Structure 1
Amino acid sequence: MELDIKGIMERLPHRYPMLLIDRVVEMVPGKSIVAIKNVSINEPFFNGHFPHHPVMPGVLIVEAMAQAAALFSFTDEDGGLKCEGSKTAYYLVGIDGARFRRPVVPGDQLRIEAEAERLSRSICKYNARATVDGQEVASAKLMCAIRSLEE
């Protein structure tokens, strides 16, 4: 299963400048995802990180991995939405073993892979990694909480 930007925006509440997934190239709902983030010099964070040597902040690479994980967690086996996004919040609540191996710079294409380690109605755990040109640039174990906004 693949998703274009329209399908991504139907599933995630994020918008510019915080939407960090451009395309989903492979997804097994509830199991794994491969997503793409095209890193452009036009990203707003490059103005200050760093003006003469632009580097994508590691925290935003982790955020992109968490957004990818949310996409496959909220997609059912038929490709539909498991829950209505406007009534559900998905919070990043834990990051373990984060490693950053090389800088991500303008012109790079970030390939994000995430696998479910444990999914439940309230807490989800994932193994995630990001690569550029086949080389790992970052990895982490992520924990996310799903909360109803009606509570």
Structure 2
Amino acid sequence: MQLDSNQISQILPHRYPFALVDRITDGEEGSWARGIKCVSVQEPVFQGHFPTYHVLPGVMIIEALAQVAAVAMLAEPEHRGKIGFLGAVKNARFKRQVRPGDVMEMESRIVRTRGNFAFVEGRASVDGQLAATVELTLAFGSNETSDR
């Protein structure tokens, strides 16, 4: 599986400034995906994190890994048109800062599924150096609006 940003936007509902995956470079629907994010100083998050020392926040790295996993799941025909919601974050570990100019390589593996839930192991790295690891639970739901 290889997808560019236009193809990703057909699968994920995220849009600027919260579309955090630039490309899917490899993967298998329903099993795993590998993607990249090219980190730019022009991203809005760097206006406040931190103005004099730009570092991509850990929560953004986790969200990017969740989006990579969601692409793997939502690319499957039975999940097309759904939204992946972040249900749980466990054992997040940050080993290296991710800064403007970095190409963050991400891999998310679906460890198991249960109904509309996927249990995921994610890893992010830069230049072959581990930046972060995390265990995620994603819940897949309807893409319909509600009055609630």
User: Normalised by the size of structure 1, how large is the TM-score?
Assistant: 0.91
**Correspondence for 1:41:** 41
Q: Deviation at 1:149?
A: 4.5
Structure 1 stretches of 4+ moved >4 Å: none
TM-superposed deviation, 1:103: 0.9
Structure 2 counterpart of 1:121: 115
Task: Name the residue aligned to 2:125.
Answer: 131
Deviation at 1:121, TM superposition (A): 3.1
Could you tell me which residue of structure 2 aligns to residue 97 of structure 1?
91
Residue in 1 that maps onto 2:74: 74
- Residue identity over aligned pairs, in percent, reads 41
Contiguous gaps of at least 5 residues in structure 1? none
Name the stretch that deviates more: 13-22 or 119-128. 119-128
Shift in CA distance, 28/149, structure 1 to aligned 2, threshold 3 Å: closer
Which of 80, 83, 105 does residue 79 from structure 2 map onto? 83
**What CA distance in whole angstroms lies between the structure 2 residues aligned with 1:102 and 1:130?**
10
1:111 maps onto 2:105 in alignment? yes
RMSD over equivalenced CA pairs, Å: 1.4
Determine the C-alpha separation between the residues in 1 that align with 2:85 and 2:32: 19
**Does the 8 Å contact 1:39/1:107 carry over to 2?**
yes
How far apart, in 2, do the equivalents of 1:83 and 1:113 lie? 20
Alpha-carbon separation, structure 2, partners of 1:140 and 1:19: 19
Q: How many residues align?
A: 145
Q: Structure 2 regions of 5+ residues with no counterpart?
A: none
Aligned-partner residue type, residue 124 of structure 1: A
8 Å Cα contact 1:30/1:119 also seen in 2:
no
SS across alignment from 1:146:
strand
Q: What residue in structure 1 maps to residue 5 of structure 2?
A: 5
Residue 119 of structure 1, CA deviation: 1.8
